[in-house]
């Protein structure tokens, strides 16, 4: 059975960042990847996707974007190419085409079964992705026959959907999809629950420049009042187009029909919550607070944006009328840790951890929302998290070595 100090599962940016930090400390390791480096960017992103984060924010341990367009936004293909180059440049020990089928604790370490053999290691890093599986609400099973359901992981472009109207459920990445579908000439309805309103630019700069400079994205997990809540905040409502804000006002002016959260489907009729005005008012309020934080950092007051204008929103939509041919479920993602047989999951199957350190010694996780910082799920968040987890992991290996020495003497 081959052995190494650390098995990293997944060669996305998190696994590669962790690998770079382990290499810097000369910790022997391997990255097991079921497909290719950056698999999720190759296989689970729609054609037009652009990162929401500007190129200058594409930073990894020992890597900083040096291209000609620091204020642009990488395409999914561009991210995949960047990560493949990074893996090559950092000589990451990736075993591609190797699917991990189980991880079990054994002999003070872990036995990792794959479809290419078995590994043994005292430490394991789970970097298999927070957004591995799209989540859809239970009511999705009540959608009448004849309507196509698709998730963002499968959606590629408007041309791939049957002709007709589209109901997009979810207003985070859902705003990007609603915008694209509407521009393709389709009637679009967008069902909106809790969301994080964000202008693309503020005070003449990309909003992410301000969030970065003012330290908002660096806020640590042990500094927030309600970590559970912070970890469940939806992702930012942004579109990766320079200077162009696509918010609910822009969509509604363009002709997208806005409704409240999809609350139920009864006898083929989609029922929407009447809470849209409240949900929008709350998002406006939170945006105002965020801009206040930025202004306090900048020392002067900046502009304010028009409140979200909510016109009368329909409370029901007959899905059998033929008006809607497709529902896009932009309702979030979850990790897939079905192969993890170590008792570190709660009863909902979520991994329990303290800043990426699990209660099972030597078992770590990367890339989850607010793992150690507000930016933990962003590419830019991996460097800091990986450095700190590597320090913890190195301490664990040292302790194991010390124990072995003591028992040998």
User: 155, exposed or middle or buried, with CB in 10 Å at 0-12, 13-18, 19+?
Assistant: buried
35 is an interface residue for ligand FAD by CB under 6 A: yes
378 is an interface residue for ligand FAD by CB under 6 A: yes
CA distances to 136, 174, 289, 330, 351 from 144, in Å:
16, 21, 42, 19, 35
Residue 140 C-beta: closest distance to ligand FAD, Å: 19
Binding mask 136-175 for ligand FAD (x = CB under 6 A): ----------------x--------------------x--
Comparison of 265 and 337: residue with beta carbon closer to ligand FAD: 337
Instruction: Please state, in angstroms and rounded to a whole number, the distance separating the CA atoms of residues 323 and 329.
Output: 17
Residue 83 C-beta: closest distance to ligand FAD, Å: 8
12 is an interface residue for ligand FAD by CB under 6 A: yes
Map the footprint of ligand FAD across residues 56-115, applying CB under 6 A: 99-100
Per-residue tokens: 105:
């604790």
Cα Rg of the chain (Å, integer): 23
Residue 27 C-beta: closest distance to ligand FAD, Å: 19
Stretch that binds ligand FAD, among 154-162, 193-201, 355-363, 378-386 (CB under 6 A): 378-386
Instruction: Please state, in angstroms and rounded to a whole number, the distance separating the CA atoms of residues 369 and 82.
Output: 23
Map the footprint of ligand FAD across residues 305-334, applying CB under 6 A: 333
Interface with ligand FAD (CB under 6 A), residue total 34
Per-residue tokens: 338:
């079905």
32 is an interface residue for ligand FAD by CB under 6 A: yes
Strand pairing category for 262-266 and 123-126: unpaired
200 touches 245 (CB < 8 A): yes
Binding mask 36-55 for ligand FAD (x = CB under 6 A): ---xx----x-----xxx--
13 is an interface residue for ligand FAD by CB under 6 A: yes
128 is an interface residue for ligand FAD by CB under 6 A: yes
Length of the chain, in residues: 409
Residue 43 C-beta: closest distance to ligand FAD, Å: 8
DSSP string, 95-124: E-S--EEEEEEETTEEEEEETTEEEEESEE
CA distances to 160, 236, 335, 384 from 365, in Å:
35, 23, 11, 14
33 is an interface residue for ligand FAD by CB under 6 A: yes
127 is an interface residue for ligand FAD by CB under 6 A: yes
287 touches 197 (CB < 8 A): yes
What residue ranges bind ligand FAD (CB under 6 A)?
Answer: 9-15, 32-35, 39-40, 45, 51-53, 99-100, 127-132, 152, 173, 333, 339, 367, 377-380
């Amino acid at each position: 059975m081959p052995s190494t100090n650390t098995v990293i599962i997944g060669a996305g940016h998190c696994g590669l960042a962790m690998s770079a930090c382990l290499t810097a400390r000369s910790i022997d390791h391997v990255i097991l990847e079921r497909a290719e480096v950056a698999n999720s960017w190759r296989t689970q992103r729609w054609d037009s996707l652009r990162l929401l984060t500007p190129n200058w924010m594409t930073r990894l341990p020992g890597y900083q974007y040096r291209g000609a367009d620091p204020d642009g936004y990488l395409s999914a293909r561009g991210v995949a190419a960047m990560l493949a180059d990074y893996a090559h440049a950092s000589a990451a020990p990736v075993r591609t085409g190797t699917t991990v089928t189980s991880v079990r604790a054994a002999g003070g370490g872990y036995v990792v079964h794959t479809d290419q053999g078995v590994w043994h290691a005292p430490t394991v890093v789970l970097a298999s992705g927070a957004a591995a599986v799209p989540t859809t609400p239970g009511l999705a099973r009540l959608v009448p026959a004849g309507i196509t359901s698709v998730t963002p992981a499968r959606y590629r472009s408007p041309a791939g959907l049957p002709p007709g109207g589209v109901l997009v459920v979810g207003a985070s990445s859902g705003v990007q999809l609603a915008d694209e579908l509407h521009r393709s000439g389709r009637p679009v309805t967008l069902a909106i629950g809790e969301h994080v309103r964000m202008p693309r630019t503020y005070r003449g700069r990309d909003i992410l420049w301000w969030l970065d400079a003012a330290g908002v994205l660096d806020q640590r997990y042990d500094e927030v009042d309600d970590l559970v809540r912070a970890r469940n905040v939806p992702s930012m409502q942004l579109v990766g187009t320079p200077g162009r804000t696509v918010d609910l006002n822009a969509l509604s002016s363009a002709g997208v029909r806005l409704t409240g959260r999809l609350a139920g489907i009864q006898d083929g009729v989609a029922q929407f919550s009447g809470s849209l005005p409240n949900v929008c008012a709350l998002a406006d309020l939170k945006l105002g607070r965020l801009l206040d934080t930025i202004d306090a950092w900048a020392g002067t007051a900046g502009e304010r944006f028009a409140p979200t204008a909510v016109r009368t929103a329909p409370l029901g939509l007959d899905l059998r009328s033929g008006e809607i041919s497709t529902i896009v479920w932009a309702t979030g993602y979850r990790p897939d840790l079905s192969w993890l047989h170590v008792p570190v999951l709660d009863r909902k199957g979520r991994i329990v951890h303290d800043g990426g350190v699990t209660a099972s010694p030597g078992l770590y996780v990367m890339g989850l929302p607010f793992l150690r910082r507000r930016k933990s799920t962003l590419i830019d968040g991996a460097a800091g998290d990986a450095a700190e987890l590597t320090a913890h992991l190195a301490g664990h290996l040292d302790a194991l070595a010390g124990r072995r020495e003591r028992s040998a003497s």
